[in-house]
Structure 1
């Protein structure tokens, strides 16, 4: 629900895309299993309808899949009929950019590969729009069931609406194809072409300007759709019922793509480790918060070891707080890169462990009090040589500094995680503020901002690079494994 909507320049305002009659494409170009399936569903939906008795060509003409040129003897499949019922190889002859893809990553880490994926080009099925709908819905909703908190049928209906919306509004002449993504708690529907109505009108559900009305008609005839324009409004209502994040309808004017993201998490779920803190409602006031005042520490806990460092840890976000424990998530003291428990570290003895008993990072006692504890247990033995103890103190200081930076980054990016509809100017400002703290890799920025890496790269980072506001850490090695973004000099 972002960005300014513009008509795609390639669209024709009078003749709709899928009305085109392909006089050299006939019944032989159809997948008859797809036709058979559609007619069965039509008969189930309308058992007494007179079209059930028609010959195949006449039936296709009635539903908009076959066309006849007036005052001539020419006839053939319509573009809608080709898309719905033909096969990928034949469709691609007319539409070279045609591509359908479904991909799934239920472990929540898409970068490590997709656990399930199919495309219109894999040769295991017809590759047409009609069959794509059913294959996708089967996988998209396979693990969605009723629960005490969620009505599975409502969610199923919303995913159906979102998928049909992508199929009927897609510009099949456009690049990139239709891509449906499923992650652990997120669904993403991306199609070429921008909406033909302003985003606000699309969400209100009052007006719809279809790019492919014949495809839409075919879905209506088997009771898969109601009147145009109601789908997004229905989705927004259901997501609101469960207090999930507002559906994000993005119009990417650079790539000429529409992207609908449905997140089944709520802001409360994502920020459960925080108390009922005040949300920053005014976007442009964000950069005026007291975060910028070095002398005014956000950490008001007088016992916190971070107080003298101007930590951004509020009292309820202290290291000693159960919900914001340094041992949790990305801030864990046990992260591989920060761990005091590596084998080569002499601290990793059971009795000396930083995580032992009262010395745990989660304990309400001061952070590094293990030396005193050891002295009490072993008064006659000096277990920690001076050089090792000095090294431990330096390590503790480094970890303390790293954790302070992590909390600072997390605080700076908080508004982006809470509010999906930030203006580009504000999100760019947040990115610059993050990079002023330290260089960050693309995946780190994506995690902090809860945006997709591709979206950040295409919509924000590229622009900031062109404006010399940021730079690449390794400009001469674009694919460097540790490539990161730094603030421009």
Structure 2
């Protein structure tokens, strides 16, 4: 089996998604604002967290397999792991899908990091009971950390009216009959674990499934079940979200059956972004999100420092010609670009169109999409511009609205063949692209 510390010597920084790295570093700095790694250059930071490797005997360097899974893109990942596939789906009573989201969509990175936060946000939207939602997110984390990414079938998380089903390649590394009673931890992907652990997203106590079993029992739900297919080498964990037949919910329990309400006024729209969810988490809500309040270049060192990447790749990749800076929440792709804080002065039409979104923090998804379409009808807008105009986090705008609107055809990319183009923007169909 391929280990997640494997150094991919022909995969350099250009093979990583810079938005994902920036988001990870922002969250890392929020959790650990005084940590010395916050001031490191990108490559050295990735080395510290286990996403970059160095072979001391050969002096070769490259992205680790864990780093590729966490920070790269689906196309790059499947070059190394052809069976790699992530899927989140919500089924309705008729057997159809209310929502389906896969790593092959082409509208997002397809990496583990972005998948985790997208799914987390969906869970908290649909599950009104905070304790149960937290448990479901923990199962998602376990699935991502314990999966055998060289196995077949991919990772799937299915939400339906009465249960949650998690399925991944790879068998348990401890006896199945011990899973719900042991506190033993046997990690398949220790470097991935470290990447999640540094954001306080998991623990190494080994008691996750034990606590889950006990919690389901305390709620009176049917108990979780595990099915291992030895032939296919797949593990499936099923979590019933209903009570055993003949048993009714006790008066002190909160109804937690999954709710799929397509009404745009649904309260599930209250949690609008991963960023907003994170800010409400216990380990974030007392810390000001400050990546580095001094001028610092996040990816300046990307230029010309890739190892194992051909000169043609280095020259052609537009990221090698751009400078990104991050300072007090204002950042720009190019020094010649207009700062997003100037948008209200330069284009009062855009500012006025987005006023309702800034005024109402709990705008319905349908209304928010309407506002975004009206903005992009005026001119192509980048993610940072939209986030500023709407007064939302970039993660929230991208995950909750832009990705879905791209899939539905409500928006298009300015550079559809280059999803990570440094000047990528969103526009409506029929808008003339100026290359």
Please indicate the TM-score interval, normalised by the length of the shorter structure: 0.5 to 0.7
Match of 2:5 among 19, 25, 45: 19
Match of 2:58 among 50, 54, 72: 72
Q: CA deviation at 1:185?
A: 2.0
Please tell me whether residue 271 in structure 1 is matched to residue 246 in structure 2. yes
Q: Which residue is equivalent to 1:191?
A: 168
Q: Which residue is equivalent to 2:149?
A: 172
- In structure 1, C-alpha distance between the alignment counterparts of 2:179 and 2:29, rounded to whole Å: 32
Q: Which residue is equivalent to 1:120?
A: 103
- In structure 2, C-alpha distance between the alignment counterparts of 1:205 and 1:216, rounded to whole Å: 19
Q: Which residue is equivalent to 1:204?
A: 181
Could you list the runs of 5+ residues in structure 2 that have no partner in the other structure? 249-435
Change (3 A) 1:109 1:140: farther
Match of 1:142 among 115, 122, 125: 125
Checking the alignment, whether the CA contact within 8 Å between 1:246 and 1:262 is kept in structure 2 is: yes
Normalising by structure 1, we get a TM-score of 0.49
Q: CA deviation at 1:92?
A: 0.6
Matches within 5 A, 1:362-373: none
- In structure 2, C-alpha distance between the alignment counterparts of 1:201 and 1:26, rounded to whole Å: 41
Q: Which residue is equivalent to 1:89?
A: 75
Change (3 A) 1:87 1:68: same
Could you list the runs of 5+ residues in structure 1 that have no partner in the other structure? 1-10, 146-151, 274-489
- In structure 1, C-alpha distance between the alignment counterparts of 2:206 and 2:121, rounded to whole Å: 24
Change (3 A) 1:108 1:271: farther
Q: Which residue is equivalent to 1:40?
A: 26
- Where 2:188 maps in the other structure, the secondary structure is coil
Rg larger in 1 or in 2? Answer: 1
- In structure 1, C-alpha distance between the alignment counterparts of 2:72 and 2:224, rounded to whole Å: 33
- Where 2:125 maps in the other structure, the secondary structure is coil
Q: CA deviation at 1:272?
A: 5.5
- Where 2:116 maps in the other structure, the secondary structure is helix
Checking the alignment, whether the CA contact within 8 Å between 1:179 and 1:191 is kept in structure 2 is: yes
- Where 2:236 maps in the other structure, the secondary structure is strand
Change (3 A) 1:26 1:98: same
- In structure 1, C-alpha distance between the alignment counterparts of 2:148 and 2:62, rounded to whole Å: 21
Match of 1:217 among 194, 197, 204: 194
- Where 1:234 maps in the other structure, the secondary structure is helix
Please tell me whether residue 56 in structure 1 is matched to residue 42 in structure 2. yes
Q: Which residue is equivalent to 1:412?
A: none
Q: Taking CA–CA contacts closer than 8 Å with sequence separation of 6 or more, which of the two structures ends up with the larger relative contact order? A: 2
- In structure 2, C-alpha distance between the alignment counterparts of 1:257 and 1:155, rounded to whole Å: 25
Q: CA deviation at 1:233?
A: 1.2
Checking the alignment, whether the CA contact within 8 Å between 1:201 and 1:207 is kept in structure 2 is: no
